[in-house]
Structure 1
């Protein structure tokens, strides 16, 4: 393993779960604000599964997804965080767990959901890592098996968050958005271009996704790296 790879792994393993490690911080409070906004964004329907995506890589979607999972669990809900990024998964680094078995194994019927799900340091929060990277991610995510899995987890958990690949890179996020109850789009201040954000919104709308809102990551004028706004 090269030095660059080792440094990347070190950075991923030290990804901040501030909602867990420092729940009284102002940033953790921002995540609770996002949680409330998500809950109130769909008062007329039962919102149980949400996809978190971004236009491009390195805009903070996985950190947002993980911290949202923590604050929903802290509310007393049974929460499952699914790493549905079957191309460049990171959830196992964030939660310091192994990734030998996960979503890809469940979808190919090698193991059951119960055998693949892992506990976390946060009470009421369980994690389903990606598992081995398959050769056909989009096909697996759009399969009948994925539909069946989502039906199963909705019966076992109160809230399900899916960390998906960036929407402008591959079609995976569109596929998942069509299968779930809503989408949270993460954009990064000073990084995400306006055209990219607009294109991401158009792709989600073409997939008939319900865009719940936007998390504006690294928004300087907020005194915190997170900000939530409606689409």
Structure 2
């Protein structure tokens, strides 16, 4: 599942209207004066830069401001300054970056492979912690929502509810609450600036998460939440418990993830065997080459599958 970095600002959507120049938008938004815009154009022509790159090089604006203006020009959702979405999620904060382009290429290949299946339902699975699984699940959910598809992201790790949140707005009702029958089925909370994205967090940690998932509990919950084009489920590490296996069996399709210099091939093979035993179809395996605690600044490519 190839996903190579692209170029900043290289988007395929059509402009909002014919003849709409990006420099005019910076002036209209008050980020540049007409004189500054003229100086940017001079540097743009002399150095062969894009307008935004030239403006940043001159120190007139920031990369974040460029992303915001580009997003408005192409009607593309982007995270607000204080949206509650982690800055690690480049697809939300820098949607025209190379990192975001890698995610979009994974989205494109998943869309092709899962075409004709109705709702795209996918469990994101990895053998161990720290392999970028939550980052990938959240990034894909945002990417599908940006593509105009109503998307639900579920954090199904009911064992590790204390981990860092990629979305700070989680609400009082989570997956464990719903599976326990203590609240009516709900699709969690909408995400600011992303009208087609909902996030359902894991909820309070139950003493028996695996038992709560048995008897098709997740399948039944999703049946009570119709209307989504895409459902992405972030799972607990497959090496930690059998939760991921049960979740993948009910979702039907899973995307495997391994991390360079972190994931042992034996662990990856064992996890693949678990998914196949559960009857889940593995649509691909992403080899994550990021460095550090998250996939920030890294990219993905196909390992096998």
Which residue of 2 is the match for residue 68 of structure 1?
140
Cα deviation digits, residues 66-102 of structure 1 (max 9, x gap): 0000000000011000011111147881111145321
- CA contact under 8 A between 2:254 and 2:283: conserved in structure 1? yes
TM-score norm. by structure 1 comes to: 0.86
Which is bigger in relative contact order (C-alpha 8 A, separation at least 6)? Answer: 1
Which residue of 2 is the match for residue 184 of structure 1?
255
Which residue of 1 is the match for residue 240 of structure 2?
169
Is residue 2:179 matched to residue 1:104?
no
Which residue of 1 is the match for residue 221 of structure 2?
149
More helix by percentage = 1
Give me the whole-angstrom Cα distance separating, in 2, the residues matched to 1:110 and 1:194.
41
Q: Secondary structure at the match of 1:63?
A: helix
Q: CA deviation at 1:152?
A: 2.1
150, 155, 159: which one aligns with 1:87: 159
Give ranges in structure 1 of 5+ residues lacking alignment. 1-12
- CA contact under 8 A between 1:92 and 1:98: conserved in structure 2? no
Larger radius of gyration, structure 1 or 2?
2
Q: CA deviation at 1:26?
A: 0.6
Which residue of 1 is the match for residue 299 of structure 2?
225
Q: Secondary structure at the match of 1:104?
A: helix
176, 194, 205: which one aligns with 2:265: 194
191, 214, 227: which one aligns with 1:120: 191
For residues 22-37 of structure 1, the aligned pairs below 5 Å read: 22-37=94-109
Give me the whole-angstrom Cα distance separating, in 2, the residues matched to 1:144 and 1:197.
26
Which residue of 2 is the match for residue 40 of structure 1?
112
- CA contact under 8 A between 1:15 and 1:63: conserved in structure 2? no
Is residue 2:113 matched to residue 1:52?
no
Give ranges in structure 2 of 5+ residues lacking alignment. 1-84, 292-296
Which residue of 1 is the match for residue 89 of structure 2?
17
- In structure 2, relative to structure 1, the CA distance for the partners of 1:34 and 1:89 (3 Å cut) is farther
Give me the whole-angstrom Cα distance separating, in 1, the residues matched to 2:157 and 2:276.
20
Which stretches of structure 1, 4 residues or longer, exceed 4 Å deviation after superposition? none
Cα deviation digits, residues 22-70 of structure 1 (max 9, x gap): 0000110110110111111133533521000101111110000000000
Give me the whole-angstrom Cα distance separating, in 2, the residues matched to 1:90 and 1:36.
32
- In structure 2, relative to structure 1, the CA distance for the partners of 1:156 and 1:43 (3 Å cut) is closer
- CA contact under 8 A between 1:51 and 1:180: conserved in structure 2? yes
- In structure 2, relative to structure 1, the CA distance for the partners of 1:18 and 1:96 (3 Å cut) is same
Give me the whole-angstrom Cα distance separating, in 2, the residues matched to 1:21 and 1:167.
30
- CA contact under 8 A between 2:154 and 2:231: conserved in structure 1? yes
Which residue of 2 is the match for residue 210 of structure 1?
281
Which residue of 1 is the match for residue 82 of structure 2?
none
Number of equivalenced pairs: 215
